[in-house]
Amino acid sequence: MEIEVNHVIGSLINEVKQFGEIRLKQKFDIKGSEQPITDCIVLPDDRIIVAVYFGSGNLKEYNINGKHIRDIPISNKPFILTAIDTDRIAVTYGDGKYMEIINTTGNSDRKKVQCSSNCWGISYQDQKLYVIVFQQGIVVMNLNGKTLNTMDIDVSGVFNITTTSDGIYYTDEASNTVHCCSMTGQEIWVFNDESIILTRGISVDSNQNVFVVDEAFNNLTLIQHDGKDSKVLLTDRDGLESLIAVHYNKQKKIICLCYKIGRVALYQVS
């Protein structure tokens, strides 16, 4: 029986680890390192966009080696980012109650979309935007800002969301849980574990394994695609501090970790 149990546990761990091993690729401070940041993404062409909440707010663009390229002026304090394609991103402005679609190659090509309430997490998938709107749920929009659907989900503690072609994933800070649901909002699984008590950013790899960062424990956890098992990949012993966001670039197999204190770390998945 012991051999059988160990075999099952070993199989689960191997399945969680199937994305490969990770190694630190690059770590750099944001210009003016005391500035609080809220999110970061790696674009298909390797550019990194960081959302800086300090002052009136701005977006900072870096190359993959951590060299600052430029600041991108925006209209408010940014909250969450999502990549639409190589040139376009969408950004929410939290209690500003609106979001914008921005062309990162120029400052003039922008589209503002008003929301009915505070809008927090956002994710792009298959020509649609999935937005966490307070007191509404998950609002699905096209790229013109037209509402296509609203999923009646309690999002009072939800600030981060990510999507794949067949699933929606979000963290609930009120219950310290991670959720997976179908594209129509039907819950598939809920994950709860003692290693996660202050969930922040969330991302998904090509095998639907879920990355989650925890600000209280300063760790990066990988949850198995079916929500049945997990593995802590990195902790404060690896230099993690004030974790706020994670983004996994599937094409480059790069994990981008965002520290609230103003630092970005890139890990290569082999």
Homologous superfamily assigned to 2-269: TolB, C-terminal domain (2.120.10.30)
- How far apart (Å, rounded) are the C-alpha atoms in residues 215 and 201? 9
Domain ranges in the chain? 2-269
Q: Which residue has the tokens 């790069």?
A: 254
- Backbone dihedral angles phi then psi of residue 3, each to the nearest 5 degrees: -65, -40
pLDDT band at 55 (very low <50, low <70, confident <90, very high): confident
Residue-wise pLDDT for 230-241, tens only, equals 999 999 999 999
Torsion of CA 258, 52, 164, 98, to 10 degrees: 160
Query: Does residue 214 have a pLDDT over 50?
Result: yes
Query: Does residue 46 have a pLDDT over 80?
Result: yes
Percent of the chain topping pLDDT 90: 79
SS3 85: coil
What is the chain's percent helix, strand, coil content, to nearest 5? 10, 50, 40
Average pLDDT over residues 174-181: 95
pTM for the model: 0.91
- How far apart (Å, rounded) are the C-alpha atoms in residues 166 and 216? 30
Query: Does residue 75 have a pLDDT over 80?
Result: yes
In degrees, to the nearest 5, what angle opens at C-alpha 125 toward C-alphas 100 and 210? 110
Residue-wise pLDDT for 1-41, tens only, equals 334 333 333 444 444 545 578 999 999 998 765 668 999 99
Query: Does residue 101 have a pLDDT over 80?
Result: yes
What is the pLDDT at residue 8?
Answer: 34
